[in-house]
Amino acid sequence: MGHMDKTAHGAFWAVRAHTERLCAHLTAEDQCIQSMPDASPAKWHRAHTTWFFEQFLLIPSLPGYKAFSPDFSYLFNSYYETVGARHPRFARGMITRPGVAEVTAYRAHVDDAMARLIEQGGDLSLVRLGLQHEQQHQELLMTDMLHGMAQNPLNPAMIPGWTAPAHATDADTWIDCPGGIHAIGHSGGGFAFDNEGPVHDVLLRPYRLQNHLVRNAAWQEFIADGAYRSPTLWMSEGWAAVQTEGWQAPLHWRRESGGWAEFGPGGLAALDPQAPVRHISWYEADAFARWAGARLPTEFEWEAASHAPGLLERDDHVWQWTGSAYLPYPGFRAVEGAIGEYNGKFMINQMVLRGGSMATPPGHTRPSYRNFFHPDRRWQFTGLRLAMDL
């Protein structure tokens, strides 16, 4: 086996094992729940990421490969229209069969075949895409299960003993960032998704960024000042969401007798006032920035600043909402075929987030990485950093 094959083998098994570790403390019942249409059951994530390898690598490229079940293509396709019909997303929680044990057997069946394919010199670029795809679903698995566990009055821990990463405790300061022409997008070696390119130049005016992410203590002041009752702070659709959804605080905050608590992967714990705020929508981030006399950075300002070593606080706390709509870069073209449905088809009505979060697998992100969600979504580990014009 060549060096490249050994590297691919190691990466494949490491990613597949991490998915299983995330589910180590989940019961079969836990893995079936779907607490809202945006979330998917843990069992579905495990099966869908396996289907990806089967559909796009094993069936077309491994001679003699036999699909594990003819029904799984329908059950575990997500949004690949060119592949065929699929089970509705909002009804994934109704798939009690196949059970967890059969999904585990499915993963083992595909893993064994993938090992053979890699040894035979399969398309390593597609293997890499499949692994990056599974890492995306590892984060979704974690946040989807967190949302599901949060509906349980017993406040069960998805990952017993889990703790959030360390965060800054020093004072917030503003950092002046130069304007001028900046190259934006992924360049050089290594993996990148199609939406991270092509590289293009962007003209920026001089601006300022806060060195730290906005913290829970500042958000408590925002709440105490009546921000969730002040329509002038909000975009019209954001204010409608506040009223319709009854937002009074970030998702997973709880009012307890001793003050605010926060539900996380380790269960319910006292709110840490110095920790970065998390589980907020773009509408909330935008309203907070306006309340603070600032604004959200554009995704281009964020990326330009991220290239300066040590300039910004580490980004493994929360994805950071930006003021940029999720749109294609100049010259973007989706690739042909089903793989081309990966990112381009979602470039409408969504906002860009940058950075990474405590649920993001290590090594999965880079400065050019573009995450994206609709502006009302709150169940991901999402927060913000403030910006202003110079």
383 strand-pairing partners: 320
Listed range (203-217, 326-340, 376-390) with the worst mean pLDDT: 326-340
CB 318 within 8 A of CB 353: no
**If we measure between CA atoms, which residue out of 312, 238, 318 comes closest to residue 278?**
318
Report the pLDDT averaged over residues 321-337.
92
And the tokens for 183? 């190259």
End-to-end Cα, the chain, rounded Å: 56
Q: Is the pLDDT of residue 98 over 80?
A: yes
Domain 3-150 has CATH 2.30.30: no
Listed range (22-26, 121-125, 182-186, 197-201) with the worst mean pLDDT: 121-125
Q: What is the pLDDT of residues 148-176, one digit of tens each?
A: 999 999 999 999 999 999 998 899 999 99
Q: What is the strand order of the sheet 259-264 is part of?
A: 253-256, 259-264, 267-270
Report the pLDDT averaged over residues 198-219.
97
Report the pLDDT averaged over residues 255-265.
94
> What's the rounded Cα separation, in Å, for the pair 369 and 197?
10
> What's the rounded Cα separation, in Å, for the pair 1 and 255?
57
**If we measure between CA atoms, which residue out of 194, 64, 235, 272 comes closest to residue 250?**
272
Label the pairing between strands 371-373 and 351-355: antiparallel
Do the first three CATH levels of 3-150 and 174-389 match, i.e. the same topology? no
And the tokens for 57? 């690598």
Show the CA angle centred on residue 47, arms to residues 41 and 52, nearest 5°: 125
Q: What is the pLDDT of residues 283-323, one digit of tens each?
A: 999 999 999 999 999 999 999 999 876 666 656 799 999 99
What local confidence, expressed as pLDDT, does residue 1 receive? 43
- Backbone phi, psi, residue 259, to 5°: 120, -165
- Backbone phi, psi, residue 371, to 5°: -90, 160
Question: What is the distance, to the nearest Å, from the Cα of residue 135 to the centroid of all Cα atoms in its chain?
Answer: 9
CB half-sphere exposure, 349, CA atoms < 13 A: 5
Query: What average pLDDT does the chain have?
Result: 93
And the tokens for 231? 């329509």
> What's the rounded Cα separation, in Å, for the pair 265 and 271?
14
What local confidence, expressed as pLDDT, does residue 311 receive? 67
What local confidence, expressed as pLDDT, does residue 83 receive? 79
Can you give the three-state secondary structure of the chain, one letter per residue? CCHHHHHHHHHHHHHHHHHHHHCCCCCCCHHHCCCCCCCCCHHHHHHHHHHHHHHHHHHHHCCCCCCCCCCHHHHHCCCCCCCCCCCCHHHHHHCCCCCHHHHHHHHHHHHHHHHHHHHCCCCHHHHHHHHHHHHHHHHHHHHHHHHHHHCCCCCCCCCCCCCCCCCCCCCCCEEEECCEEEEECCCCCCCCCHHHCCCEEEEECCEEEECCCCEHHHHHHHHHCCHHHCHHHCCHHHHHHHHHHCCCCCCCEEEECCEEEEEECCEEEECCCCCECCCCCHHHHHHHHHHCCCECCCHHHHHHHHCCCCCCCCCCCCEEEEEEECCCCCCCCCCCCHHHHCCHHHCCCCEEEEECCCCCCCCCCCCCCCEEECCCCCCCCEECCCEEEC
Q: What is the pLDDT of residues 1-14, one digit of tens each?
A: 444 466 777 899 99
Whole-number Cα distances in Å, 334 to 196, 338, 364? 12, 10, 22
CB 120 within 8 A of CB 380: no
CB 297 within 8 A of CB 321: no
> What's the rounded Cα separation, in Å, for the pair 162 and 167?
15
> What's the rounded Cα separation, in Å, for the pair 192 and 189?
9
What local confidence, expressed as pLDDT, does residue 195 receive? 96
Q: Domain segments of the chain: what residues?
A: 3-150, 174-389
Superfamily of domain 174-389: paralog of FGE (formylglycine-generating enzyme) (3.90.1580.10)
